[in-house]
């Protein structure tokens, strides 16, 4: 088959003595890859479009080709890591289910290791992003961090005692699927009712925006969306223009996010909560009510300083950096599959 041509990005120079790993961020529409130093610096990037309807064989071939192209520039790379959305078993790196990809039951770690000959790790993409943010971003120097990514859905990862928490099989840490509103909540894509993702994500914002436009057909949200698909950005635009309905939607969204954060902090008591993802770009429209609700519902709020909430530093690069860091740690540990420590 003919593989898509990668779009190169500028490379930077790395120290000749730096250990290098390849990080792959596997998405439903694009696959990004990069060569990363042990200090979290991306020295070369490539990106390709995910072939529509790609099955397991096509996906592995695209990843192998991307790794080969990166190794052509940096043959000294020591390991490869891949992060993918969905249910990823650890340490097997077996993708049981990916919501935006056609394949199911893909033994990606084994197949990618066979295709490249490199030590390989495969993890959930939100775990990889959380690891990157803890190692090299706002969480650097902290041992207990909660990272949430608030976009179309809500993902995240838990770093506890300096290590990623994955649960018994790697399916733990699904912060977007804690139940915050089981009585009056909405059905989530996972099938449950009242998940944090169903109440506080970009998908929830679009749903509420459509409902608002139907209630107020002459209102700012409906007017801005006329002739186009109603998106979260349209609701954001209306809120920036001072539309009280749109501001109220963000207040509701942020309140549920704050309830979810309070629940997580009550259980894990981290040092820091980091919020990333596309909706963070809305700033205090989302984070203001989130912080208010967090302060209201957090346990023992009057008896201790609550862990602060801050925004993520690494943005779209977190997946590449995190998977490469995990791969380099695994290679350094000579093949051990558990108990990875931070680089």
Which residues on neighbouring strands pair with residue 94, listed in sequence order? 89, 107
Instruction: Measure the CA–CA gap between 85 and 61, rounded to whole angstroms.
Output: 18
Residue recorded with tokens 């940096």: 74
∠ CA(163), CA(167), CA(173), 5° rounding? 80
From residue 146, alpha-carbon distances to 130, 149, 270 in Å are: 8, 10, 7
Residue recorded with tokens 């609700």: 293
pLDDT surpassing 50 at residue 35 = yes
Show me where the domains of the chain are located.
Answer: 7-125+324-332, 138-312
∠ CA(310), CA(313), CA(316), 5° rounding? 125
Q: Model confidence at 18, in pLDDT bands (50, 70, 90)?
A: low
Instruction: Measure the CA–CA gap between 233 and 227, rounded to whole angstroms.
Output: 15
User: What's the pLDDT at 331?
Assistant: 86
Q: pLDDT tens digits, residue range 203-251?
A: 999 999 999 999 999 999 999 999 899 999 999 999 999 999 999 999 9
Q: What is the rounded average pLDDT of the residues 123-133? A: 95
Instruction: Measure the CA–CA gap between 51 and 114, rounded to whole angstroms.
Output: 22
- 7-125+324-332: CATH, from 3.30.1360.150, 3.40.50.620, 3.30.420.40, 3.60.20.10: 3.30.420.40
Dihedral class, residue 325 (left if φ above 0, else alpha if ψ from -120 to 50, else beta): alpha
Instruction: Measure the CA–CA gap between 181 and 303, rounded to whole angstroms.
Output: 27
User: What's the pLDDT at 190?
Assistant: 87
pLDDT surpassing 70 at residue 5 = no
∠ CA(256), CA(141), CA(32), 5° rounding? 70
Residue 22 has phi, psi (to 5 degrees) of -105, 130
Q: Model confidence at 313, in pLDDT bands (50, 70, 90)?
A: very high
190: burial class by Cβ within 10 Å (0-12, 13-18, 19+)?
middle
Mean pLDDT of the chain: 90
Structure tokens, 116:
């490249």
CATH number of 138-312: 3.30.420.40
User: What's the pLDDT at 100?
Assistant: 66
Q: Model confidence at 78, in pLDDT bands (50, 70, 90)?
A: very high
User: What's the pLDDT at 44?
Assistant: 96
Q: Model confidence at 97, in pLDDT bands (50, 70, 90)?
A: confident
User: What's the pLDDT at 175?
Assistant: 95
3-state secondary structure of 174: coil
Q: What is the rounded average pLDDT of the residues 333-340? A: 45
Kindly write down the DSSP assignment for every residue of 201-226, as one continuous string: SHHHHHHHHHHHHHH-TTSHHHHHTT
Q: Model confidence at 336, in pLDDT bands (50, 70, 90)?
A: very low
Of 48-57, 147-156, 275-284, the poorest mean pLDDT is in: 48-57
Q: How many CB atoms lie within 10 A of CB 74?
A: 16
> The pTM is what?
0.88
Instruction: Measure the CA–CA gap between 18 and 77, rounded to whole angstroms.
Output: 10
Instruction: Measure the CA–CA gap between 116 and 120, rounded to whole angstroms.
Output: 9
Q: What is the CA radius of gyration of the chain?
A: 20
Q: What is the 3-state secondary structure (H, E, C) of 141-165?
A: CCCCEEEEEECCCEEEEEEECCEEE
Spatial CB neighbours of 254, under 8 Å, sequence gap ≥ 6: 200, 285, 286, 287, 288, 289, 290, 292, 293
- Evaluate whether 7-125+324-332 and 138-312 have a shared fold: yes
276 and 318 Cβ atoms separated by less than 8 Å: yes
Structure tokens, 266:
């009550």
């Amino acid at each position: 088959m003919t593989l898509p041509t990668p779009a190169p990005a500028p490379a930077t120079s790395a120290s000749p003595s730096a250990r290098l790993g390849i990080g792959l961020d596997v998405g439903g529409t694009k696959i990004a890859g990069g060569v990363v130093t042990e200090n979290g610096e991306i020295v070369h990037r490539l990106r390709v479009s995910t072939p529509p309807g790609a099955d397991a064989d096509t996906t592995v071939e695209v990843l192998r080709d991307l790794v080969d192209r990166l190794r052509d520039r940096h043959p000294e790379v020591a390991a490869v890591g891949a992060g993918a959305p969905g249910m990823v078993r650890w340490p097997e790196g077996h993708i049981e289910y990916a919501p935006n990809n056609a394949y199911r039951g893909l033994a990606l770690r084994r197949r990618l290791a066979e295709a490249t000959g490199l030590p390989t790790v495969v993890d959930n993409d939100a775990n990889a992003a959380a690891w990157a943010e803890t190692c090299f971003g706002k969480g650097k120097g902290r041992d207990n961090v909660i990272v949430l990514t608030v976009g179309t859905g809500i993902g995240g990862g838990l770093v506890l005692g300096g290590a990623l928490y994955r649960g018994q099989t790697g399916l733990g840490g699904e912060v977007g699927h804690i139940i915050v509103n089981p009585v009056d909540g909405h059905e989530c894509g996972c099938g449950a009712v009242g998940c944090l993702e169903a109440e506080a994500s970009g998908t929830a914002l679009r749903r509420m925006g459509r409902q608002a436009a139907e209630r107020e057909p002459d209102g700012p949200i409906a007017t801005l969306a006329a002739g186009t698909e109603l998106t979260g950005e349209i609701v954001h635009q209306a809120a920036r223009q001072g539309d009280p309905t749109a501001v109220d939607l963000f207040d509701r969204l942020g309140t549920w996010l704050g309830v979810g954060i309070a629940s997580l902090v009550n259980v894990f008591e981290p040092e820091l909560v980091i919020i990333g993802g596309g909706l963070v770009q809305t700033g205090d429209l989302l984070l203001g009510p989130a912080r208010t609700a967090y302060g209201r519902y957090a346990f023992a709020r009057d008896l201790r300083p609550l862990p602060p909430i801050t925004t993520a530093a690494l943005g779209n690069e977190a997946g590449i950096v995190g998977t490469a860091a995990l791969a380099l740690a695994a290679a350094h540990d000579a093949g051990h599959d558990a108990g990875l420590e931070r680089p």
